[in-house]
Amino acid sequence: MLRLPALIASTIACAVFAAPAFADDNGRHGRTCAAKAKGLYGFLCDGSTFNGVAFDQVTYVGTVDCDEKAFCEGYGTFNSDQGSVDTHIAGAGTFGRNCFGRIVYTTNEIVLPGGGTIPLPPATFDFIAVDDSNEILGSGVAPGMTGDSVPRLTCRLVRIR
């Protein structure tokens, strides 16, 4: 029987997106995209991940706040057939040409009801900022991995005005 933290760790580590990455990876283009995307976003991710036995339908909903220097931090609820858990993510990333980017959440953790946390491996996402950065579309990625370990999760972020 799979334990909930193990499922959450494998799923979130490969698939938690939820925010844009905002650093100057490509000179002026990166700085411009980062400045435009600064702000608070609501997000919803939907898809499936492999839990070690079968593919599991998952959703992830929450908010993320990003600054103009490539740092994003957010909180949400991750849902699977194993239950729901609160999460905290934080990390920085890069923008390239045309506001396409990658974020690596080096802080990726389950938040326990008593206030403690369970750390998880970093999570990586590729994304594109659209509609003048009022919306961000993304997908969980697993660089260097193949097969079932690659997440099948898509995310949509919308600026909270």
Q: How confident is the model at residue 17 (pLDDT cuts 50, 70, 90)?
A: very low
Q: What is the mean pLDDT of the chain?
A: 83
Per-residue b or e along 111-125, where b marks 16 or more CB atoms closer than 10 Å to that residue's CB: beeeeeeeebeebbb
The residue extents of the domains of the chain are 4-159
**pLDDT score, position 29:** 65
3-state secondary structure 55-104: EEEEEEEEEEEECCCCEEEEEEEEEECCEEEEEEEEEEEEECHHHEEEEE
Q: How confident is the model at residue 94 (pLDDT cuts 50, 70, 90)?
A: confident
**C-alpha–C-alpha distance, residues 49 and 58, integer Å:** 7
Across 17-36, average pLDDT: 60
- Dump pLDDT digits (tens) for 27-46: 666 778 888 889 999 999 99
In the structure encoding, which two tokens stand for residue 84, read together? Answer: 């729901």
pLDDT at 144 over 90: no
In the structure encoding, which two tokens stand for residue 32, read together? Answer: 């411009």
Q: What is the DSSP string of 2-18?
A: --HHHHHHHHHHHH---
4-159 — its CATH code? 2.40.160
**pLDDT score, position 70:** 74
In the structure encoding, which two tokens stand for residue 83, read together? Answer: 């239950």
**pLDDT score, position 28:** 65
